[in-house]
Structure 1
Amino acid sequence: MITTPVRSAAARNDWRSLDPRPLGSPAHTPVSVSVVVPAHGCQPELDLTLAALAAQSHPASLIGVVVVDDRSEPPLTLPDLRPENTELVRVEGGGHGSGRARDIGARHAEGDVVLFLDADIIADHHHLEAHARWHEITDDAVVLGFRDFVDVTGVTPAATHDAVGRDTMASLVDGREREPHSWIEQLLEKTDDLLHDREDLWRAVVGASVSTRRDFYQEVGGFAHFPRRGIVDTEFGYRCFTGGGLIVPERHARSLHQGQRSFATRGPEIAQRRAPLIANHIANPRYRTPIGGRQWAVPYVHVIVPPSTAPFMTARYTVDDILANDHDDLTVSVVVDPDGDDADLYADYWQADGRVRLVEQAPASGFPSPATMIVPVGARLTSTAVGSLLDRLRTWRQGLLSISVTGVDAPLEMWATRALSRVRRADPAAERPVRETARELFGETWVAGSDHGVGTRSGASDRHFKDGRFHAGR
């Protein structure tokens, strides 16, 4: 863990290493919370949700609510029983969807923290405070609230406000059957409450109650405006995790969900219809068909080739080796000086290749690809090199794999993008070497390039020219 006088950066997903204040104790660094509530045709449910938000332990002066009416007919209205600072935003045109509505609400939010709460959620007395206390101590937190599904027939806004204010929310549904979010609980049990270091912890993110700092939300791009149900939460969680987010299951952020979850009754249909979109935008083998030559909206590996003074042909061999790899779910950003002598050659050769981007400045990371690979010009890679290094990285014993290559000035680097993202956020002024911070937060392993098909003499692209028919141009 790295700690400054105010903020902390945890190692891996070890949220238990942080020490938020006890609920009810004063905050040393209070944060304001903007609650974004997307809503579509659910006035009675919204009334209960707002009544509960008006009875929170978090200071009322630090709470703002943005209700996003997602084309309801008739339009939604704000009830009298609501937090004082509540705004109603009406979305018009373009269809409706929770991701779009949440994102519009977040763009209206002004708080230090944005907390997304569904319009059929009754939040308990400490719900907002339980979220906020993590954001008081770290920039990386993606805090998850919990909910039980229960019938709330006959429950009134006044009774809700009274029970939540007295911290007796459970009394609203005494004697009624309550169902936990079972698949979330199963995932938490398998991962020791998300402490196991694996690449799919983002699956736990559900938009019914999730919060981040507003700056972090903007950094990872916010909720996508997908038209499909059942993907926006998962895809947002994927980008939060890949962007270095620390996913925190906050069991003190309790709530009641009004009625049964729709996925429980229409799960197979929703899963089938979301599969094509989720495969394109979530770079994870569980969603993708292992076929060569396929290009996805978000590739698994983003390779960055830093600027070099080497001749164009040297760069060409390096980049073509990468493109010729058996693991071809990748994109390559080649940094080119537009005023360099060979700049036109780069454009002539790669401008039509959909997997190559010619850029003037190296991206900070390969986000949203989960793996970022930095390959200096002059390195040569065999056809199995990228896959071999990925296999080593995906043991998740380290966040940075450094590859030494004799004859190349700088090592190759294979990063877990989430590690690189959090490292840069932990030290934005670059007061410490990036490698040192990475070693502390995620671990670093050095390997020999020769053990993984990386060297300087030959590479994957050579195999096409063994018959001598290739000519550099004449």
Structure 2
Amino acid sequence: MITSARRVAAKRNDWRSLMPRALGDPITTPVSVSVIIPAHNDQPELDLALAALAAQSHPAELLEVVVVDDRSEPPLRLPESRPAHTTLVRVEGGGHGSGHARDVGARRAGGDVLLFIDADIIADRHHVEAHARWHEIIDDAVVLGFRDFVDVGGITVDQVRSAVEQGDVGTLVEGRPKEPHLWIDQVLEMTDDLTTDREDLWRPVVGASVSTRSALYEEMGGFAHFPRRGIVDTEFGYRCFTAGGVIIPERAAYSLHQGQRSFAINGAELARKRAPLIANYIANPRYRPPVSGRQWAVPYLRVVVPPSNRSFSAVRNTVDDILANDFDDLAISVVYDPASADADLYVDYWQSEGRVRLVTEAPRSGFPSPATMMVPVGTRLAATALSGLMARWRTWTHGLISISVTGVDAPLELWATRALHRSYRVSDEAGLRDAARELFGEAWVAGADHGVGTESGASDHRFAQGRYHLGRR
């Protein structure tokens, strides 16, 4: 693995502001690339894919390929025409599916960059280099390759290698009907090639050709091991973006996909079966019904209540105000000291509340929730405070909204989790706010204008003689 200095950071998803080298130009900041190929049962497809990778413009000494055989019968083998540094790993048990296979390969890989390519992809000569050049200049890149779907029947390994060496894989299929990835093209057109800032820019991420730096892959947790088809790629893209990744469509990373895409054949049934899992793990209104009181595996908002020397009752009031709010797709991490005199009160009070988790250290962010809120103890929130703040936050004009609270030393902070993660990668704790302001923008608002203060809140009550007197203070 090659180590190099920290690279630049992009604002929001403005990848056009970055200046990668032209393809074929000398490499001044080289990166090693590990290509991960999950494969199952189709040896001829794999043979063509590896033949194409054997003729890449990216330096051979900076390229390794890890083929992950996901229980093929008979087992897959490595053909003669393949990159010099190619290994074969077989998955036998303890997980299944393309996500699991990709993750197994990623854990075996040693490159600075992890490039995931499907076994039915015939990559053009500059495919790997086109991915790598972005990772040479930015740590946060999530690069997307492009493909046309086409019948490759009758095409041989030698023909593939020759066409790729000559730099035009398209000559292999001249005269054959080709189909673009139409829905991805539509998303790119709608978002000006993903430069229009919105919360679902991760949608075009598909595993057929996608790359990240290995450090970002580790930070966001890698590919999930979902058994259900049609969610693994989408959920991976969602977490890449939420971790502060810059999604970059790279048309020079071109390839041919061998045959039709499976979703085009039975897409309606795949969509029906994946919908429940997506609703649980992708916190986005597009995939999640607005059911009040519903708890999800990944809440939309993760609230962190940091440690405090205030009383348990002060902590309780702040947390209960949050729970009593009209925005309830959330979970709360409450930091407490298990050695304190009142530690048992925290456990007794919240042990059965599914949306509250007691922790001994404050999490760095609410990842993989797209929104992270830091709420100092002593803050009181009206019943509509969260819905109002979230509505403002979802205008996407700022990555951080700071809410001043009279009588509380620290502001309430509402972060886009992706802004928080990217800011951490370019700054230390002391410079975090400055980094966020530079990369995503910051707005200050008065808590009094948004139902946030210290005097009263949504859970108001008076506790006396061992019981609560609702509606009184």
TM-score (norm 1): 0.96
Hey, what does 1:258 align to over in structure 2? 258
Hey, what does 1:167 align to over in structure 2? 167
Q: Which runs of 4+ in 1 moved over 6 A?
A: 463-466
Q: Structure 1 residue 348: deviation in Å?
A: 1.6
| Alpha-carbon separation, structure 2, partners of 1:453 and 1:383 | 8
Q: Which letter maps to 2:459?
A: S
Tell whether the 8 Å contact from 2:461 to 2:468 is kept in structure 1 after alignment.
no
Hey, what does 2:439 align to over in structure 1? 441
Q: Structure 1 residue 338: deviation in Å?
A: 2.4
Q: Which letter maps to 1:303?
A: V
> Secondary structure of the residue that 2:322 maps to in structure 1?
helix
Deviates more, 1:349-358 or 1:299-308: 349-358
Matches within 5 A, 1:342-353: 342-353=342-353
Q: Structure 1 residue 357: deviation in Å?
A: 1.0
| Alpha-carbon separation, structure 1, partners of 2:268 and 2:51 | 34
Hey, what does 2:44 align to over in structure 1? 44
Matches within 5 A, 1:113-124: 113-124=113-124
| Alpha-carbon separation, structure 2, partners of 1:168 and 1:249 | 20
> Secondary structure of the residue that 1:252 maps to in structure 2?
strand
Is 1:372 matched with 2:372?
yes
CA offsets 1:12-62 (integer angstroms, 9 cap, x no match): 000011111111111111000000000011111100000000000000001
Hey, what does 2:75 align to over in structure 1? 75
> Secondary structure of the residue that 2:162 maps to in structure 1?
helix
> Secondary structure of the residue that 2:203 maps to in structure 1?
helix
Q: Structure 1 residue 352: deviation in Å?
A: 1.9
| Alpha-carbon separation, structure 2, partners of 1:354 and 1:217 | 29
> Secondary structure of the residue that 1:403 maps to in structure 2?
strand
CA offsets 1:190-243 (integer angstroms, 9 cap, x no match): 000000000000101010000000111011000000010000000000000000
Matches within 5 A, 1:198-347: 198-347=198-347
CA offsets 1:268-297 (integer angstroms, 9 cap, x no match): 000000000000000011111211111100
Matches within 5 A, 1:23-102: 23-94=23-94, 96-102=96-102
Hey, what does 2:449 align to over in structure 1? 451
Deviates more, 1:26-35 or 1:432-441: 432-441
Unmatched runs of 5 consecutive residues or more in structure 2? none
| Alpha-carbon separation, structure 2, partners of 1:388 and 1:464 | 27
| Alpha-carbon separation, structure 2, partners of 1:5 and 1:445 | 31
CA offsets 1:394-432 (integer angstroms, 9 cap, x no match): 0000000000111111110000000001000112x44x5
Hey, what does 2:189 align to over in structure 1? 189
Question: How many equivalent pairs are there?
Answer: 466
Q: Structure 1 residue 93: deviation in Å?
A: 2.6
Hey, what does 1:16 align to over in structure 2? 16
Hey, what does 1:410 align to over in structure 2? 410
Deviates more, 1:260-269 or 1:86-95: 86-95
Hey, what does 2:179 align to over in structure 1? 179
| Alpha-carbon separation, structure 2, partners of 1:278 and 1:346 | 33
| Alpha-carbon separation, structure 1, partners of 2:360 and 2:181 | 47
Q: Structure 1 residue 6: deviation in Å?
A: 5.0
| Alpha-carbon separation, structure 2, partners of 1:165 and 1:138 | 28
> Secondary structure of the residue that 1:143 maps to in structure 2?
strand
Q: Which letter maps to 2:27?
A: A
- Percent of aligned pairs with the same amino acid: 71
Q: Structure 1 residue 96: deviation in Å?
A: 3.2
Q: Give me the CA root mean square deviation.
A: 1.6
| Alpha-carbon separation, structure 2, partners of 1:72 and 1:425 | 40
Is 1:155 matched with 2:155?
yes
| Alpha-carbon separation, structure 1, partners of 2:6 and 2:136 | 8
C-alpha spacing 1:301/1:459, structure 2 compared with 1 (3 Å): same
Matches within 5 A, 1:365-404: 365-404=365-404
Q: Which letter maps to 2:367?
A: F
Q: Which letter maps to 1:298?
A: V
| Alpha-carbon separation, structure 2, partners of 1:378 and 1:411 | 11
| Alpha-carbon separation, structure 2, partners of 1:337 and 1:94 | 37
| Alpha-carbon separation, structure 1, partners of 2:284 and 2:265 | 26
Q: Which letter maps to 1:416?
A: A
Q: Which letter maps to 1:450?
A: A
Deviates more, 1:170-179 or 1:341-350: 341-350
Q: Which letter maps to 2:374?
A: I
Q: Which letter maps to 1:24?
A: G
| Alpha-carbon separation, structure 1, partners of 2:433 and 2:221 | 26
| Alpha-carbon separation, structure 1, partners of 2:168 and 2:469 | 79
| Alpha-carbon separation, structure 2, partners of 1:210 and 1:112 | 14
Tell whether the 8 Å contact from 2:6 to 2:139 is kept in structure 1 after alignment.
no
Tell whether the 8 Å contact from 2:203 to 2:238 is kept in structure 1 after alignment.
yes
